[in-house]
Structure 1
Amino acid sequence: MVLSLSTLGFSSALSRLNFFPKPPPSLFSALTTFRRNQLPLKSSLAASKRDGDVVVLGIETSCDDTAAAVVRSDGEILSQVVSSQADLLAKYGGVAPKMAEEAHSKVIDQVVQEALDKAYLTEKDLTAVAVTIGPGLSLCLRVGVQKARKIAGGFNLPIIGIHHMEAHALVARLIEKDLQFPFMALLISGGHNLLVLARDLGQYIQLGTTIDDAIGEAYDKTAKWLGLDLRRSGGPAIEKLAMEGNAESVKFSIPMKQHKDCNFSYAGLKTQVRLAIESKKIDAKIPISSASNGDRLSRADIAASFQRIAVLHLEERCERAIQWALKMEPSIRHLVVSGGVASNQYVRARLDMVVKKNGLQLVCPPPRLCTDNGVMIAWTGIEHFRMGRYDPPPPAEEPEDFVVCFPEH
């Protein structure tokens, strides 16, 4: 039995995000029309939970980490558990969807149970279950959704489908209590570059997006070509090596200088890096730990030069987006930078300069909340639950052959 997310009853996190203008369907696909459900939990209980103490389990399996967390509506993180697939990333030189799915399946029960145990709670103590339903790798997303539905169905809990990128933006509101709508958000990861003006919960204006490769993808590929250790992903490896190099030594060109918009492109920069590596005769099969001093310096120069231009591209796009956004919403005071690449200290420092120059404040979640995590899913679930945006408990017993069908993102 193959069921779509809409058939399964999700008030789609993808469709409840209202973007103006409408973003490309490849990034945000509408699944269903959002419904504001008042669940038959004893309606007075449902209302009191929305207004009072809410405890949500968040499950995240969109890509290469299996994560779960329990968060309370007052912002207290009761637990956070992440099972990394770093060894798989190093072995395959990136994410291998089928291998990632198998890794999620092996640890999902353990990760969720550990999150509950660390919170000193059981499923009966939860108010709701939140789970990522996209964007992401469908094979991986399915593991998390099936686990969430099993818990929600077995314990008669509301279930909340979460949009992965919205969660990256909203987790900043958990950390920064003064962060009110409207605000701007730059979401930068291995799969996405996205600049948005967040007017309200679920109400976003897309200012810019990637037209080909995201910055995280460029970091990962550059690290792979330079023979770096990918167990911590490419970003940290590049940032560390770049400290040894001369950022002006290799003359890469800034992407899309002629385009006066806020979109991003890293495919061309990747090509420039690959050609520079070939011209220096760098052999990626020789790990950086075994490279000669001269070879290591050449790699460091390329890493530093790449990082400078990659982040300059971010700076230019952000500066333009801030100017656009302030014309629409003069009351904006914050730019949130989140997603895996926001863990990069060089990225944060450079963007902080841009933001301050324009009279705004930079808000970056701590690195453990920038990379994919269950806290951001649970917190976004809380935000939507407070507004009555959730779906009723799924059936306690699902058909054994049911398969969740995800749209392409």
Structure 2
Amino acid sequence: MRVLGLESSCDDTAAAVLDDGTVRSNIISSQHDLHEEYGGVVPELASRDHQRLIVPVVQKALSEAEVGADTLDAVAVTYGPGLPGSLLVGLSFAKAFARGLNVPLIGVNHLEGHLYSGDFASPSPPRPYLCLIVSGGHTELVYVEEDFSYTVLGRTRDDAAGEAFDKIAQLFGLSYPGGPAIDQQAAGGDPTFHDFPRTRLDNLDFSFSGLKTSVLYYLRNFSDAERERVLTEHLDDLCASVQAAIVDVLVGAVRRAAEETGAEHVAVVGGVAANRELRRRGAVVGAEEGFEVYVPDLSYCMDNAAMIAHAGALRIAAGDEHSSTLDVVPQLQIEE
């Protein structure tokens, strides 16, 4: 089964070719430079850039995979969640491409793409497994019993972890995207420099808005001159302290969920899974609690089309297919 995957839910235009489970190409065109001056993604600019990039990105994916479009067996595409305009570009192209090739169209939930990106880890997690999806727009804990049979144990009630990283990085005067910037700065910092709050709810839901507010008030307590001095002399320490707070909450929730479910296998996926401290702490807690932790390579943590092609192939194997009436669903959730 040779599947073309397409991903355009936010600010990355991506296409990939999956051939009987083997990734033949995985092309990602990032818009980070376009949105950096605004400190975040501008939806209108993102959708326009997707329109400009999607054809050459697909052409490059096919070329790198050394396959012709006429050899494809299906087209899988993200239809939600995400930015409406960005999703629409990818879905419209996928519909036309699948129709022209007379092959099945498979709509993929972006979160399911991340959920099954753990299969790209080596080794990959066997079913059942616990999965932490942690990205710019989503933070969820999902227990996967088997393909497309799962239970959502918890999700964020406000900001996602990646969103918190981005917003706090902006307060620190760092570049967008904020997660990688804070990760880099934190490497040389003291995580005990300041004790920022860790919000731990009674259930397994997450909340990071309080952390963002705490950082804002912390900086407001200084005069302009003193704030500039603190951000100059202790930026590494502040980044390390913020990172420690976010990672503590994430790892703590995974520990609790593993205890409640008895999970022996835990996958950590999504853009924030690239964070070095999260990877380190995850491995430590796994060793302490007796569960195996699986994290895919960095190229499969960020938004990518290989994970969409893979989830699409799993959907095809389950007998799923979508018609040309499929529409984007910007607020799509994981259905239990």
* 1:240 alignment partner AA: Q
* Counterpart pick for 1:196 among 133, 142, 158: 142
> Contact between 1:280 and 1:298, CA under 8 Å: does it hold in 2?
no
Deviation (angstroms), 1:338 = 0.4
Matched, 1:406 2:329: yes
SS of equivalent residue, structure 1 residue 129: strand
Q: Residue 101 of structure 2 corresponds to which residue in structure 1? A: 155
Q: Residue 183 of structure 1 corresponds to which residue in structure 2? A: 129
Mind listing any 5+ residue stretches in structure 1 that lack a counterpart? Answer: 1-53, 327-331, 396-402
Q: Residue 186 of structure 2 corresponds to which residue in structure 1? A: 242
> Contact between 1:261 and 1:317, CA under 8 Å: does it hold in 2?
no
d(CA) in 1 for partners of 2:206 and 2:307?
Answer: 25
TM-score normalised by length of structure 2: 0.93
Q: CA distance change for structure 1 residues 281 and 244 in 2, over 3 Å: closer, same or farther?
A: farther
Q: Residue 295 of structure 2 corresponds to which residue in structure 1? A: 364
d(CA) in 2 for partners of 1:300 and 1:162?
Answer: 39
d(CA) in 1 for partners of 2:93 and 2:224?
Answer: 45
Q: Deviations over 1:249-300 (max 9, x none)?
A: 11212113xx3211100000000111122234569xx9xxxx87x6422222
* Counterpart pick for 1:310 among 240, 246, 249: 246
d(CA) in 1 for partners of 2:307 and 2:77?
Answer: 10
TM-score normalised by length of structure 1: 0.77
Q: Residue 79 of structure 1 corresponds to which residue in structure 2? A: 25
Q: CA distance change for structure 1 residues 260 and 295 in 2, over 3 Å: closer, same or farther?
A: closer
* Counterpart pick for 1:386 among 305, 310, 317: 317
* Counterpart pick for 2:211 among 248, 251, 269: 269
* 2:329 alignment partner AA: F
Q: Residue 94 of structure 1 corresponds to which residue in structure 2? A: 40
Q: Residue 341 of structure 1 corresponds to which residue in structure 2? A: 272
Give the paired residue count. 331
d(CA) in 2 for partners of 1:189 and 1:303?
Answer: 18
Q: In proportion to residue count, which structure has more helix?
A: 2
d(CA) in 1 for partners of 2:84 and 2:172?
Answer: 30
SS of equivalent residue, structure 1 residue 208: strand
Deviation (angstroms), 1:88 = 2.1
* Counterpart pick for 1:324 among 236, 260, 265: 260
d(CA) in 1 for partners of 2:144 and 2:48?
Answer: 36
Task: Give the share of equivalent positions with the same residue, in percent.
Answer: 37
> Contact between 2:134 and 2:140, CA under 8 Å: does it hold in 1?
yes
Q: Residue 60 of structure 1 corresponds to which residue in structure 2? A: 7
Q: Deviations over 1:315-346 (max 9, x none)?
A: 211111111111xxxxx431000000000111
* Counterpart pick for 2:69 among 123, 129, 151: 123
Deviation (angstroms), 1:245 = 2.1
> Contact between 1:245 and 1:297, CA under 8 Å: does it hold in 2?
no
d(CA) in 2 for partners of 1:87 and 1:369?
Answer: 21
Q: CA distance change for structure 1 residues 183 and 404 in 2, over 3 Å: closer, same or farther?
A: closer
Q: CA distance change for structure 1 residues 65 and 251 in 2, over 3 Å: closer, same or farther?
A: same
Deviation (angstroms), 1:239 = 1.0
Q: CA distance change for structure 1 residues 407 and 165 in 2, over 3 Å: closer, same or farther?
A: closer
Matched, 1:69 2:11: no
Q: CA distance change for structure 1 residues 282 and 377 in 2, over 3 Å: closer, same or farther?
A: farther
d(CA) in 1 for partners of 2:215 and 2:231?
Answer: 16
> Contact between 1:56 and 1:70, CA under 8 Å: does it hold in 2?
yes
Greater CA deviation, 62-71 or 246-255? 246-255
Q: Residue 133 of structure 1 corresponds to which residue in structure 2? A: 79
d(CA) in 2 for partners of 1:323 and 1:128?
Answer: 40
Q: Deviations over 1:43-66 (max 9, x none)?
A: xxxxxxxxxxx1100000001100
Spell out structure 1 runs of 4+ moving beyond 3 A. Answer: 174-178, 280-283, 403-409
* Higher radius of gyration, 1 or 2: 1
d(CA) in 2 for partners of 1:210 and 1:140?
Answer: 23
> Contact between 2:7 and 2:77, CA under 8 Å: does it hold in 1?
yes
SS of equivalent residue, structure 1 residue 117: helix
Q: CA distance change for structure 1 residues 81 and 118 in 2, over 3 Å: closer, same or farther?
A: same
> Contact between 2:87 and 2:328, CA under 8 Å: does it hold in 1?
no
Q: CA distance change for structure 1 residues 96 and 178 in 2, over 3 Å: closer, same or farther?
A: closer
SS of equivalent residue, structure 1 residue 116: helix
> Contact between 1:255 and 1:313, CA under 8 Å: does it hold in 2?
yes
Matched, 1:373 2:304: yes
Deviation (angstroms), 1:89 = 2.4
> Contact between 1:135 and 1:165, CA under 8 Å: does it hold in 2?
yes
Q: CA distance change for structure 1 residues 405 and 71 in 2, over 3 Å: closer, same or farther?
A: closer
d(CA) in 2 for partners of 1:179 and 1:295?
Answer: 41
d(CA) in 2 for partners of 1:251 and 1:175?
Answer: 34
> Contact between 2:267 and 2:294, CA under 8 Å: does it hold in 1?
yes
